[in-house]
Structure 1
């Protein structure tokens, strides 16, 4: 089963690389504002997870600079479980006004990003 998952993961990564979406073009001053707003966001994800790939494609499409955190590393995994509440990816960590919100589910994450940055 591990080998099948590994092969499928590599196929997903290859297809994502070949068919990467175009980045949204913004004026330089607007892009600087968006970059400043995205500094408080972090996406906990696995590289070959199809739902994580979906969210990363949307991030690229919107030309957002969100910190990508590999949730397979023990330190990041423990932060995700202890602060977020469960080990599930993709998970968007949103820090606003001293509060931290953890947003799970790829559809909810892409909806949030579309509402905030579209």
Structure 2
């Protein structure tokens, strides 16, 4: 079963590379505004997780540069996800606003949030 996951993961990453979406073009001021807003976001993810790839593709479509943390290979990121979000489940978007942290799971919810905030 593990070998199947490895093979499927590599196929997902290859297809994502080959069919990578184009990002939106913004004015310099609009991109700076988006980058400032994105500083409050962190995505906890696994590299080959299909739902994480789905979220990363939306980040690319929206030209959003946020911090990505690999909760599979980085033990510190995994611990942050466990303590802050309450469980190790990816993708998870950490939103920090006004000193308050919100942990958002579910790729569809994350994509809806990103489209609302950055589109």
TM-score (norm 1): 0.98
- Partner of 2:39, secondary structure, is helix
**Structure 2 alignment gaps of length 5 or more:** none
- 2:68 pairs with 1:74: no
- Which residue of 2 is the match for residue 115 of structure 1? 116
Which portions of structure 1, spanning 4 or more consecutive aligned residues, are displaced by more than 6 angstroms? none
Deviates more, 1:65-74 or 1:45-54: 65-74
**Structure 1 alignment gaps of length 5 or more:** none
- Which residue of 2 is the match for residue 19 of structure 1? 19
Shift of 1:13: 0.1
RMSD: 0.5
TM-score (norm 2): 0.98
Shift of 1:51: 0.1
Shift of 1:83: 1.0
1:29-69 alpha-carbon deviations (Å, 9 max, x no partner): 10011001100100000000000000000000000001110
- Which residue of 2 is the match for residue 49 of structure 1? 49
